[in-house]
Chains A and B, each alone.
Chain A
Amino acid sequence: MILRSVTDLFFVHKMIMRGDFMNKTLIMVSSITYAIKARDILVSYGYRSYIETTPGHLDKVGCGYSVSVNGNADEAEKILTSNGIKVLGRVDINGVS
């Protein structure tokens, strides 16, 4: 990425703070409904978060949904549980935590 202005710098700083350059983590929840709710909560906290189907080999419950999050996954999980979202598990690119 070539930085051409202060605005670019500002956005890069924002991306670093948001954890965009960190590993992606999948936080598994119980259904599509809770995935949407979880995504909305994380986005409201400034995270970049998306709804994803839980990959088959990681899906313990069957037909599972997850939210992906870049950044501090511990904090993201804490935010979700404090907002009443049941977290079924967590997966990052290095394995299941």
Chain B
Amino acid sequence: MVYLDNAATTSPKPQTVRQAISKAMEESVVNPGRSGTATAKAVAEQIFECRKKAAKLFGAKAPENVVFTLNCTHALNYVIKGALKKGDHVIVSSLEHNAVMRPIDKLKKDGFIDYDIAQVFPFDTDMTVRSFERLIRKNTTMIICTHASNVFGVINPIYEIGQLCKNRDIMFTVDCAQTAGVLPVDMEEFGITFLCCAGHKGLYGPMGTGLLITDGTGLKTVIEGGTGNNSHSFDQPEDLPERLESGTMNTAGILALSKGIDFVNKNTPAMIYNHEMRLIQTAYKLLKNNKKVMFYHTFPLKWQFVPVLSFNVSGVSSMQTAEFFSKNNIAVRAGYHCAPLAHKMFGTEAFGTVRISTSAFSVENDIKKLVYAVNKFTSLKNNY
């Protein structure tokens, strides 16, 4: 199969990641932090090692600020529901995923907070930052911004928005679902309070892994329970990461994620990004020759886009196009990608888009097969 749905989850996973999962299921079937056995301690050390790697990769202050979650959505919910107080005002970008919009909108409907949506002006940093700045109120306590759109790949100027947040003493939450392992992020330098990302996308870990990294700012808890420490008390521990890690952890997933981060470090995010972008640019160039293919932005330049490309075949719904690809053994994503705001911004609410996204394992032949399939589809007389 030609797999071009890596923005949903990267596939395949590196061999080291797959081996780590099975090794963990054979040798590390213990509950780290819950018992004092040598194996449990050894596994806890490996988990701590993963925290250290993640902290280093994202320029976090300390490994204990790295909290393991189930996915990026889980991490964002912890932040949104844990950091905001009644009466707070929040600003989000016009490219946010429902992982942000649904929890934030629920809090608004519950009368707990209010929020505004700041228009993003692709590739115009000043306009975009001004757009956020204009919406700041006295009670604005948080700005939430995706690092890059999961639909159109547009990169947001998070460094500059971070400086705005620093200057105005506003918490800054960044959704790095599409950029972790691909674009450089330094939490301290960028002024990020909370960084959320998936472990199973650009970090090549297994599904069911995610990260919430804080700058040390406290969070109310959303879930309470056993943490393996301070057990005499009914109060949830104050210290991170245990405060936010109630219940048995996904040990096998975390140990495999650790190998995924090793894979990223070994290949370097810059090399991976360059490789993936080259393939996306090739796809854009080749598909542009087909007059029935519609794009929604100019040529995807490096550092303006992440390797995610949306398009449609003229007059055909994205779902129909993707179905044809599926029959031809090509995996892409079609529809709305859980990001209605982004579709509104690019005018694709009616049909959604077909999205392709590459990984470190994608090759030029994958793109050629996709282009061949698109050309075959558009040449069929009765395709729509």
Contact = CB atoms under 8 A, between A and B. Distances in A.
Interface of A: 30-34, 36-37, 51-53, 60-65, 84, 86
A32 B64 contact: no
B315 interface: no
A51 B41 contact: yes
A1 B239 CA distance: 44
27 contacts: A30-B230, A30-B239, A31-B33, A31-B229, A31-B239, A31-B242, A32-B33, A32-B41, A32-B44, A33-B44, A33-B48, A33-B241, A34-B64, A36-B44, A36-B45, A37-B48, A37-B62, A37-B64, A52-B36, A61-B230, A61-B232, A61-B233, A62-B231, A62-B233, A63-B228, A63-B230, A65-B229
A32 B38 CA distance: 13
Given A51-B41, A53-B36, A86-B239, A32 B229 contact: yes
Nearest to B51: A33
Given A36-B45, A51-B41, A53-B36, A31 B62 contact: no
Interface of B: 32-34, 36, 41, 44-45, 48, 51, 62-64, 227-233, 237, 239, 241-242
Contact of B48 (A36, A52, A60, A84): A36
Contacts of B241: 33
B82 to A, nearest CB: 19
B36 A84 contact: no
Nearest to A53: B36
Nearest to B44: A32
A34 B65 CA distance: 11
B207 to A, nearest CB: 24
Contacts of A34: 64, 239
Contacts of B44: 32-33, 36
B229 to A, nearest CB: 4
A30 B41 CA distance: 15
Contacts of A61: 229-233
Contacts of A62: 229-233
A64 B229 contact: yes
A71 B45 CA distance: 24
B64 A33 contact: yes
B234 to A, nearest CB: 11
Nearest to A54: B36
B48 A31 contact: no
Nearest to B37: A53
A63 B32 CA distance: 12
A63 to B, nearest CB: 4
